[in-house]
């Protein structure tokens, strides 16, 4: 018996959307909207059709989205102070960023990196074939 079933794919998709909503709620305003890109593969895991849940193209798209978001998040994590300073210099924030704000920004990018790793698992699930068991 395989660990990956249609029900587990659906649960992973729902969990991905819930995690995305939580991250969108707790993130600072200057962390970009690109988290919403992870909803696309999550919806693909929720839809109860074998052709979508076993689609290799959606798996490849998921990996491309993960690579993009990992690049942006690692760049944001490593360059948190310049990002915050740029927000101050362009008058998007009205005060010099404090150490706690810089730490909050860095921690948010770490959470996004962890969420990207979770979505790698979701992307792998597209490559594992499953079928829906129909009642008799």
pLDDT tens for each residue of 4-52: 888 888 999 999 999 999 988 887 766 667 788 888 889 988 988 888 8
C-alpha to C-alpha distance for 122 and 128, rounded to whole angstroms: 10
C-alpha to C-alpha distance for 20 and 18, rounded to whole angstroms: 5
C-alpha to C-alpha distance for 123 and 57, rounded to whole angstroms: 10
pTM: 0.80
- Whether the pLDDT of residue 135 is over 70: the answer is no
The mean per-residue pLDDT over the stretch 52-62 comes to 88
pLDDT tens for each residue of 113-131: 999 999 999 899 889 888 7
Report the mean per-residue pLDDT for the chain.
83
| Residue labelled with tokens 């948010």 | 108
Percent of the chain with pLDDT over 90: 23
Instruction: Give pLDDT, residue 67.
Output: 94
Cα 98 to Cα 71, 84, 128, distances in angstroms: 25, 9, 47
Give the chain's length. Answer: 136
C-alpha to C-alpha distance for 109 and 46, rounded to whole angstroms: 26
- Whether the pLDDT of residue 1 is over 50: the answer is no
C-alpha to C-alpha distance for 39 and 65, rounded to whole angstroms: 11
Instruction: Give pLDDT, residue 32.
Output: 67
Instruction: Give pLDDT, residue 18.
Output: 94
Instruction: Give pLDDT, residue 117.
Output: 93
Cα 111 to Cα 4, 41, 42, 84, distances in angstroms: 25, 19, 18, 18
DSSP calls for 14-53: HHHHHHHHHHHHHS-TTS-GGGGGGHHHHHHHHS--HHHH
- Whether the pLDDT of residue 78 is over 90: the answer is no
């Amino acid at each position: 018996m395989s660990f990956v079933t249609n029900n587990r794919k659906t649960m992973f998709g729902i969990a991905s959307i819930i995690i995305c909503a939580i991250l969108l709620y707790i993130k600072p305003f200057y962390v970009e909207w690109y988290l919403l890109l992870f909803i696309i593969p999550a919806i693909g895991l929720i839809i109860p059709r074998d052709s979508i849940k076993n689609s290799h193209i959606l798996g490849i798209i998921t990996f491309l989205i993960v690579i993009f978001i990992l690049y942006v998040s690692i760049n944001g994590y490593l360059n948190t102070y310049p990002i915050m300073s740029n927000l101050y210099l362009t008058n998007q924030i009205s005060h010099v960023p404090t150490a706690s704000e810089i730490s909050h920004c860095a921690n948010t990018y770490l959470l996004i990196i962890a969420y990207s790793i979770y979505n790698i698992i979701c992307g792998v699930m597209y490559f594992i074939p499953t079928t829906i068991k129909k009642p008799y």
